[in-house]
Amino acid sequence: MAVQDKSKQAMKAKLYCLFFLVMVLAMIYVSAQMYKVAVRESDKYQALANNQQFRSATVKANRGTIYDRNGQVLAQSVTVYTVFVDPRTFAERDKGVDTTIKEKKPSGEEVEYKVNREEFIVDTLSETLKMEPEDIRQRLYKNNAYQVVKTGVEKSEATYIMKEMARMGITSVGATPTAKRYYPQNDLAANVIGHLHYDGYGIYGLEAYYDDYLTGTDGKIISARDANGTEFQYKYKQSYEAKDGYTLYTNLDATIQYYTEKALESAVTSNAAKHKGSAIVMNCKTGQIIAMATDPDYDLNAPADIFDEKTAKALADIKNTSTDDAYKKARSDAWSLQWTNKAISSLYYPGSVFKVITGSAALEEDAISLSDTFYCNGSVKVSGQELHCWTTHGGHGSQGFVKAMTNSCNPAFVNIGQKLGKKSFCQYFEAYGLTEKTGIDLPAEASSIYVPYNRMSLLDLSVSSFGQANKITPIQMITAYAAVVNGGYLVTPYVVDKIVDSDGNVVKQFEPTVKRQVISEETSETMRQTLETVVTVNSGSNAYIKGYHIGGKSGTSQKLDENPKGDTYVSSYCAFYPADDPEIIMLVMVDEPTNGLYYGSAVAAPVVSEVFTEILPYLGYYAEYTEEELKDLEVSVPKIEGAAVEKAKSTANSLGFELEVIGKGGTVVKQVPSRGNKMPKGCKIIAYTEEDYEEEMVYVPDLTGYSLSKANKKLASLGLNLMPLGGAAQKAGAECSGVMNYKEQYVHKGTIIEAYFLINDETG
């Protein structure tokens, strides 16, 4: 018995030990797991707990606004909403749940009915957001806590949705405010401003270059929820305010930008430019960019839409006839072309505009003087190759520097370039900033392609002297040209004037930057006088404007690297005002005109003339006419309606107009043209003198190719008045390039017909 008891006690002891060991092991395991959860993986489980107990909502910061120099908005952020659903909350609280609604009928009777929450969510969102019901339903059944239904929802729609959800007690649908980029001017300065990627960052233009400044810091709202998913108020809610991006104030002037784009578009369209056109208006002394245009451009509010009709049609054809991959590549190429700022990203041979660089360098180095003469018989042979002048009339003969510049004579500038020499030519090419980027505050500025000194032959030097060997950007050309006429100072062009924070504090102020003085004030003054003569000589060039002293130079370059035949061209013109102390400088470039005209003086100079005519008075520069110009000024048509016929004749004649009376009455009851219109002296006013008059109608002919006198005679014979446009209209050899209005249609007798006249050669 004693042995048995001892055996039992030993067994119990073993069981106790085993139990104790198991308990110890269990405690060790639990402790290890607690250590793992509480220490090693605490972040993971804290995140899971936070996800269950807390909800965070991002408050999007507004992107900074972009203004023009006068405070006009060019780009801004507006508040829109992102509508979302919470599938987990839906599964917990709304799925399979009905809401009981009580409503009173007009009779006063109260009725009660049930609404299925799932169907209500699907119906309300699909109808309000114009989406397919099945798309909504699929989002409700995702296995996560956040599913975007639609972005960019207007406030009115988002407010309606949330009111309806609250009415039903639905908490699985929400709407958070966010920012949408909006461009109130649509396509104005599109290639300068640029646009955003769908992820919200800038990818072109100022939007990209200043993205770090424009982008704000998003805020957050974090709130706690109870076991039922209801949000605790106030005490357990933490907000972190969004910080809006900085604002850009640019040097762009929306009014000048508009006139620049309008004139450039007209030139690109009428000349059927194959590869777009560009234009830059800049402050000659400071480098401030006042306007910069590429045409065709695009709508900033719909950057993916192809704006150019020809490109859009070609893309549609590819989509219908080619593979999907081919279409996607073509579309990508079309986007890249559409969004590119041609003024800073495209290289071209500057042609004769470059002669201002060669000429100024040669004068500065005393390689030539104003008294030197240069002979042209139509061509010059260099290293066995014939280099031709643009004229086909046997050359320009003997000419001084100013005349050679006015004639835009290639052989003369070959001579000037050779007198300057390779070393000096290359030194000035570099000094004028043409071997480096200008540093303008825009992305994707291209680098020039040029012949360096160690590889330059005599032929290279000769061709370079009139702008055919080296390819540069329009922004490089206008910046170098500005240095020629502003006293010799090479400045850095810049678009943005200042950056301001949301409290109005100036974060960064940009000032004019002078890199170096390239030529002396004396040489610069000589060049200004020379280039003013280029515009005004022989009664004016196509860039001439009555009452304004303008300097300028045209350029017509051949695209020999693309077409060795030499029958494809780039037309350009660069002009500045005032000629004696320049403030405004403008460069126009039209790439490959295909409608007959190709000289820069005929294609690009009229753009400068049109823009300067509009913007100089706007900028406070008013015409100062010479006595000769005053004689040819247009006169405002007087009011003669209601006047006796004899009095009407006297009034018209005193202003230099003729009066044609139609009818037998004694009083003028109707006049054409009406009061206030301007037309040249010698034009005719038609006066009707009977109440039941029937106005005479006249067919307007096409005047293309007519000289001024022939066009005037033709219209006068029809009882119509001619208003000649263009700086060279009065110059011998000027021809009509087209009627500006009413061509080949019937108009009232006496109507003023505007027609553009120009000199179609490379002078000027």
Tens of pLDDT along 531-546? 999 998 755 689 999 9
The pLDDT value given to residue 234: 47
The pLDDT value given to residue 589: 98
The pLDDT value given to residue 444: 96
Cβ atoms 342, 278 nearer than 8 A: yes
List of residues 6+ apart from 9 with CB closer than 8 A: none
Tens of pLDDT along 564-587? 998 999 999 999 999 999 999 999
Q: Strand ranges (DSSP E) for 86-146?
A: 98-104, 110-116
Tens of pLDDT along 351-386? 999 999 999 999 999 999 999 999 999 999 999 999
Between CA 28 and CA 302 the distance in angstroms is 65
Between CA 292 and CA 269 the distance in angstroms is 18
Task: State what percent of residues in the chain have pLDDT above 70.
Answer: 92
The pLDDT value given to residue 394: 83
Terminal alpha carbon distance of the chain: 136
Q: What is the mean pLDDT of residues 479-486?
A: 98
Let me know the angle formed at the C-alpha of 525 by 520 and 528, rounded to the nearest 5 degrees: 130
Tens of pLDDT along 601-629? 999 999 999 999 999 999 999 999 988 88
Tens of pLDDT along 26-51? 777 777 777 666 667 666 656 555 55
Q: What is the pTM of this model?
A: 0.85
Q: What's the helix, strand, coil split of the chain in %, to 5?
A: 35, 25, 35
List of residues 6+ apart from 419 with CB closer than 8 A: 362, 367, 368
Mean pLDDT for all residues in the chain: 91
List of residues 6+ apart from 291 with CB closer than 8 A: 189, 252, 253, 256, 257, 259, 260, 261, 279, 280, 281
The pLDDT value given to residue 48: 55
Tens of pLDDT along 258-288? 999 999 999 999 999 999 999 999 999 999 9
List of residues 6+ apart from 238 with CB closer than 8 A: 221, 222, 223
The pLDDT value given to residue 99: 87
- Burial pattern 25-55, b for ≥16 Cβ within 10 A else e, equals eeeeeeeeeeeeeeeeeeeeeeeeeeeeebb
Residue 107 — pLDDT band, cuts 50, 70, 90? Answer: confident
Please check the confidence at residue 253 and state whether its pLDDT lies above 50. Answer: yes
